[in-house]
Amino acid sequence: MTHAASGSSCRISVFGAGAWGTALAQAFADCHRVRLWARDPRQVDEMGRARENARYLPGIPLSHALEFEPDFAQAARDADLHLVVTPLAGLRETVRTLRRLTPGTPLLWACKGLEAGSGKLPHEIIREELGGDAPSGVLTGPSFAAEVARGLPTAITLAAADAAFAEEWVAALHQPRLRIYANTDVVGCEIGGAVKNVMAIAAGVSDGMGFGLNARAALITRGLAEISRLGRALGARTETLMGLAGMGDLILTCTGDLSRNRRVGLALAQGKTLADILRDLGHVAEGVSTAREVVSLARRLQVEMPICEAVDALLRHDLSARTAVEQLLARDPRHE
């Protein structure tokens, strides 16, 4: 933590060279020494030669200060901070390997969702793999990778149970065009980041069916209510859910054309099969796997989440897109 506390340049290793991992590596390379690791050595070689992530961020030149590393152990070595930006399905394996190679290195994760099968949030995976006192936190909030990689203004949240850890790494990583705000409500930040992807699928379906902006606004508003109910049941703070990691991320993902989850909903509204949509997308859309786990968690906690249930039914139980949205819009009126 010495480098973070002093504000000097840090050695940051980023694991995962998808769109978001590459964008964060690009952003931090302006002030720090950054190594970017990808599972596919060919991708690493191509990025190093072309200074571009042609698969995930085509057309965006990558900084010449950014280093590319195909060897996992070498990437982890001598880092002041590990930043894991794999899909959520790869978080557990990545963290387990890091614990074996470089125990005790501060760690941030930027994965969103609930683990398939277990329904665990990322911080629960971290606790199981690293222990409860590991120096770690989550980086999340309203952010499209392409805009961050281009250096466009963005504000996100760094949440950690240890307030000093959050504040020190915010001081180290905060930049004029990538503004980072400290938070200690890890659960609230993670729930906001996970469930908004499910809501974005619903918003995409509504838009794709031509239901209009009024319907989209209703879905976003009621979606925020669902996120808040689930978050509070898990101990999250209301102000977190109304902030960047909750409402901010929800609005961006439900309205932005760069949202992968919204694009899934738009394609479902066109009658495409889920398998074809995911193949054509070429990226992970975390809302697809998260919907089932959110519904399961909500039922265990006896939290009403009709939008998430409709998305889950649409994805897994052959409910048509039109029927799913019309059922939601036809729900009996209640006190808001």
132, 213: one domain? no
> What per-residue confidence (pLDDT) applies to 38?
95
> What per-residue confidence (pLDDT) applies to 334?
65
167, 30: one domain? yes
250, 279: one domain? yes
Helix (H) or strand (E) holding 108: strand 107-109
> What per-residue confidence (pLDDT) applies to 335?
60
151, 277: one domain? no
By annotation, the residues acting in catalysis are: 196
What is the domain-level CATH number for residue 52?
Answer: 3.40.50.720
State how many domains the chain has.
Answer: 2
Phi, psi dihedral angles at 114 (to 5 degrees): -120, 140
SS3 of residue 105 by DSSP: coil
- Helices in the chain by DSSP H: which ranges? 2-6, 19-28, 41-50, 72-76, 91-101, 122-130, 145-149, 163-173, 186-208, 212-233, 238-241, 249-255, 260-269, 274-281, 286-301, 306-316, 321-329
180, 266: one domain? no
Let me know if residue 69 belongs to a domain.
yes
The last residue of a domain, from among 126, 151, 184:
184
The one-character DSSP state at 89 is: G
117, 199: one domain? no
Query: What tokens does 141 get?
Result: 């909030």
Rounded-to-integer distance, Cα 136 and Cα 104, Å: 10
203, 283: one domain? yes
Q: Residue 108's beta-bridge partner residues?
A: 83, 137
- Exposed/middle/buried for 35, CB within 10 Å: 0-12, 13-18, 19+? buried
The last residue of a domain, from among 154, 184, 214:
184
For 172, the domain range is: 2-184
pTM: 0.93
Closest CA to 303 of 224, 199, 238, 230: 230
167, 214: one domain? no
Per-residue pLDDT tens, the chain, 336 aa: give them.
444 544 579 999 999 999 999 999 999 999 999 999 999 999 999 999 999 999 999 999 999 999 999 999 999 999 999 999 999 999 999 999 999 999 999 999 999 999 999 999 999 999 999 988 899 999 999 999 999 999 999 999 999 999 999 999 999 999 999 999 999 999 999 999 999 999 999 999 999 999 999 999 999 999 999 999 999 999 999 999 999 999 999 999 999 999 999 999 999 999 998 889 988 887 778 889 999 999 999 999 999 999 999 999 999 877 788 888 777 766 655 665
Q: How far is CA 38 from the centre of its chain?
A: 18
Give the Cβ contact number of residue 153 at 10 Å.
10
20, 83: one domain? yes
Let me know if residue 160 belongs to a domain.
yes
